[in-house]
Amino acid sequence: MIINSSDPAKLTPPRPPTAVYQGCPYFGVADDAGTRLLFPAAGAVCHRAKPESEIDVAYQQTTCLTAEHETCTVFLRQQRGALPPEISGIEGQRTPSHRIFLGVMIILLFAVVGIWVGLWWVNSGGNMAAQKPEATPEATLLQVVAAVSTNPPTTVPATATAVPPTATMPPTATAVPTHTPTPTASLPPTYTPRANTVTPPATAVPLPQAVVNVPRLNVRQGPSTVYDAIALVDEGEQFDVIGRIRDGSWLQVCCIAGVPGWVFTESVSITDSITAVPLITDIPPTPTAAP
């Protein structure tokens, strides 16, 4: 077969038939009414509707992209209007429910925060109330000193009555006549000079009283401020004066927890003359400062 090359119709291959778009002319992208879509999309809208609204994806496949768009109620009506609910996109229908859900979540969040703040306030207020009652050390010290100051009247007669029994011990030794010349056992009364200083209480002579006339007064171990304090007493407390030093600037009083102590004479008021008070010569040694 001979082909004439001069015939152009015989040299050009036949073209395939062009596909004809059968979709709705109002179906397109949201930003440009003139741009058509050839496939279903979630953001596709109907420009025939007023306002322009998104279309359900399933409706796009069955109607908007096919020749069935000619049966669409929106396509057939004379005037523009709202898109029917059965055609509207799912995203547009969800918007009110999303807002309701967001509002409910915000309310729940505020409720949880309010409950937490209320519980914290109740717990912190209870702890503060439980920590308020506290005993002061000063009140405890005053109670101890007051209790100690009430004991001396009972201890002084005890020391005074303890001296006569030592003198009655020799009669028990006289039960053996051969040992009567052994009165050497009577040496201990002469050995303890403090027994001689306590002899005034054994008599019926009342002891002078020292009444504290300053708000606070230290009772010390010796007649000087270099000695350590053994107690702190309050104004108005009263003690027996049982001794003094030669110049009378310090007085020995009885007793603090059963132990005699020394007070400065100008810090107390004396109820009687101290001339009859024994002179104390057995003074504790002055403490030395630590190196």
Query: Which phi and psi angles does 234 have, rounded to 5°?
Result: -100, 165
CA distance 278 to 103: 95
CB 221 within 8 A of CB 256: no
Query: Which phi and psi angles does 214 have, rounded to 5°?
Result: -120, 160
CA distance 165 to 167: 5
Classified by CATH at the fold level, domain 139-160+197-284 comes out as SH3 type barrels. (2.30.30)
Strand order of the sheet with strand 53-54? 27-28, 45-46, 53-54
Query: What DSSP state is assigned to residue 282?
Result: -
Q: Give the angle 126-128-131 at the CA atoms, nearest 5°.
A: 110
User: Which of these, 142, 157, 160, 150, lies nearest to 238 by C-alpha position?
Assistant: 150
Helix (H) or strand (E) holding 263: strand 259-264
Structure tokens at 82: 């709202």
The pLDDT confidence band at residue 108, using thresholds 50, 70 and 90, is very high
**Tens digits of residue pLDDT in 233-249:** 999 999 999 999 999 99
Name 58's Cβ contacts closer than 8 Å, sequence gap at least 6. none
Strand order of the sheet with strand 250-256? 229-234, 216-220, 259-264, 250-256, 238-244, 209-212, 268-270
The pLDDT confidence band at residue 60, using thresholds 50, 70 and 90, is confident
- Overall pTM > 0.85: no
Percent of the chain residues topping a pLDDT of 90: 27
User: Which of these, 267, 274, 272, 208, lies nearest to 234 by C-alpha position?
Assistant: 267
The pLDDT confidence band at residue 209, using thresholds 50, 70 and 90, is very high
Write down the domain spans for the chain. Answer: 139-160+197-284
Tell me the β-bridge partners of 264. Answer: 250
